[in-house]
Structure 1
Amino acid sequence: MPVYLDKNTKKYYFKCYYTDWQGEKHQAKRRGFALAREAKAAEREFLAQYATNPNYTFQDVYEKYINDCSARLRKTTVTNKQSFFEHAILPFFHAMKISEINPVHVRRWQNDILMHYAPTSQRIIHGNLSALFNFAIKFYGLKNNPARIAGSIGTLKAHRAKFWTVEQFNLAMKFTTPAAKAAFTLLFYSGLRVGELLALTIQDYNPAAKTINVSKSLSTIGSAQYIGPTKNSQSTRIVSIPASVCALIDEYLKLLYEPEAEEPLFMYFSKPTLLKQLKAAAEKAGLEKIRLHDLRHSHASLLINLGINILAISRRLGHDDIKTTLNIYGHLYHTTNEEIAAKIENLITSNN
């Protein structure tokens, strides 16, 4: 397109039309070029940048991204995303044009995140930022992902989780109520998440088959609680439990007054009340205090020590893939190259 000479200023300018990422046409004008070729070069650069790139702010794309996530993800997942964005991402990026954010901006933001968040949180926060850029690339014409170019931060692995052995668990259970003991025992010997446990109804427990049907999860958002889907498709599962655990649950059910099948299995408990009782039991038993989720870790540790296949453990825990299981519990597999060689040697010797 032609460039023009401003007769008053004796400077050149360009005027052009372009179609934005939404298909809408706009006119752009830039002034103040000493030479016609400079104005022409600036026009080409402008069209290369803005005719194919989105020109909305980071805040705009965040709102579009969250709306899309709300239609596709669990409510708790969306709430967690919103929290990460509002506290750690939006304060830095919200007013910037998304097409103008580059890896240098991301690195500056990362330096602040590195000072204020733990390594696992750093990784999650950065992953959320990168996911938003990928969303803009896929649906709104953004050319590249500056977060990916800048490189990730943090780590997938947290500090090693705390575990109780069977002996420690049995000791702690001497200092709690029969109802709480039933809940804790089911967590310890099934590997259920706490939300899955609290969402169970009485009909989810099948004493004849010795199984628990995990099909939902209880979540807390603010002060409200609601029953929703499990964490992922693999988390919807049937979990077999030992006969002795069934016997304990049966004894607990006798304490309830004519319970209905659709009522919660552990109707008098919430996560805070369970945690309070677990900490009290640990203190009375002289044990290190652990979180409720550490009973799930303890179950995984127990299975590994029993020599259970990692794929079977992953399925029992309801992980979305085996990589998740290995990332969390891989360090518990202590088999060394020397032990492997010794086992093979024993096999050779026994067959000869």
Structure 2
Amino acid sequence: MGVYKEGKNWKVQVYYKDWQGNQKRKQKRGFRTKGEAKEWERDFLQQQSQGVDIEFGNFLEIYYKDMDVRLREHTMYTKRYIIDLKIRPYFEKKILSEITVADVRAWQNELLMYKDKNGKGYSQTYLKTINCQLTAIFNYAIRYYNLQDNPCRKAGAIGKSKGEPKDFWMQEEFNDFLETVSDKPETRMAFLLLYWTGMRIGELLALTYDDINLEEKTISITKSYQRLKGKDVITQPKTPKSIRIITMPDFLADEFREYCSHLYGIMKNERLFHFTKSHMEHCMAAGIEKSGVKRIRLHDLRHPYVKPTTKKFASFLKFFRAAAIAARSCSIRYSWLMLPFQISPFLKSPA
């Protein structure tokens, strides 16, 4: 075991025991300096140690390896992105078991004090998301690697679970925006579906022709689409309850029928919309600027639009929707832009 000179470069050869206790050998070649080779050797052995007296960055690799096989690819991609960008740089070289409450508080303060070039800080929901990722890492170390304590608990939380009230478009605003994409039939149809059905962008982009029943005026939601690392990835929807059947109102079904009539030669399992979320975001930003409607996010198109002053009505709708799904006989419009009392068949549970 050790570091050896090999031509102009260096190589590492180490022996270790895997999780079953079997003796294994690992070699790594191509290091330009002896120092680089020794650093790799140290990191590798730390990652095999099954302990918490190792650098935070090396423990992260253990955590990632375990989570990779347990989480959805998109979920793991988001987790890695947040941790590598906002957590790893601060804690990477610290020994995991020696990270203190003061260390966590100092890191939290940096997040709280951050301001971009426009003087804007992180949102309360984003702060909470980042903090929860660090908390999850320490909880994992406690549960599976016998770390004694989670310093995040004593440090306290930052951020909030709920952000500012979501903004939305009234029907007139949406129609003004829709005019800006009237020359793009595929994009126009996609925005119509997002606005009137409440489906997520990933669910929309995963739709195939086989998911559409124009006679019954229904759309079957069974999957989600993401573009990850240059690849098209189809996964299960966000939650089990996300698997559902959406009933389209008559006018939307007519629009969809007309759109589908121009899809010549499409296969049943072929995606209906051959673009990505970034395309939709780009078209939305351009359309907002051109039409002059207020700026909202793509995701905001699917939120229930109930003002804080209508909490009682919102509670009624929540109860009604739950009862409807349980009975599998009633349904309710998800996008409540036609308030106050237009309730019509819109969502129904799969048979």
Structure 2 match to 1:171: 176
Q: Tell me how far apart the structure 2 counterparts of residues 311 and 94 of structure 1 sit (CA, whole Å).
A: 47
Q: Percent identity?
A: 35
Q: Tell me how far apart the structure 1 counterparts of residues 206 and 178 of structure 2 sit (CA, whole Å).
A: 23
Q: Which one has a bigger Cα radius of gyration?
A: 1
How far 1:176 moved relative to its partner? 2.5
Q: Tell me how far apart the structure 1 counterparts of residues 323 and 148 of structure 2 sit (CA, whole Å).
A: 39
How far 1:303 moved relative to its partner? 11
Matched residue type, 1:159? E
Structure 1 match to 2:8: none
Closer, same or farther: CA 282–122 of 1 in aligned 2, 3 Å:
closer
Structure 1 match to 2:233: 226
Contact 1:122 1:154 in 2 (8 A): yes
Structure 1 match to 2:189: 182
Structure 1 match to 2:305: 301
How far 1:279 moved relative to its partner? 3.6
Contact 1:194 1:271 in 2 (8 A): yes
Structure 2 match to 1:132: 137
Q: Tell me how far apart the structure 2 counterparts of residues 87 and 292 of structure 1 sit (CA, whole Å).
A: 24
Q: Tell me how far apart the structure 2 counterparts of residues 284 and 211 of structure 1 sit (CA, whole Å).
A: 33
Structure 1 match to 2:223: 216
1:65 matched to 2:72 = no
Matched residue type, 2:284? L
Structure 2 match to 1:162: 167
Structure 2 match to 1:90: 88
Matched residue type, 2:317? N
Query: RMSD over aligned Cα, in angstroms?
Result: 3.1
Closer, same or farther: CA 83–219 of 1 in aligned 2, 3 Å:
same
Structure 2 match to 1:348: none
TM-score by length of 2: 0.68
Q: Tell me how far apart the structure 1 counterparts of residues 198 and 71 of structure 2 sit (CA, whole Å).
A: 24
Matched residue type, 1:310? K
Matched residue type, 1:138? R
Figure out how many residues of one structure are paired with residues of the other and give that number.
268
TM-score by length of 1: 0.68
Structure 2 match to 1:203: 210
Contact 2:178 2:188 in 1 (8 A): yes
Contact 2:227 2:276 in 1 (8 A): no
1:274 matched to 2:272 = no
The answer to which structure has the higher helix fraction is 1
1:203-352 pair list within 5 angstroms: 203-267=210-274, 269-297=275-303, 300-301=304-305, 309-310=317-318
Structure 2 match to 1:321: none
Contact 2:52 2:59 in 1 (8 A): no
How far 1:80 moved relative to its partner? 1.3
SS in 2 for 1:301: coil
Structure 2 match to 1:81: 79
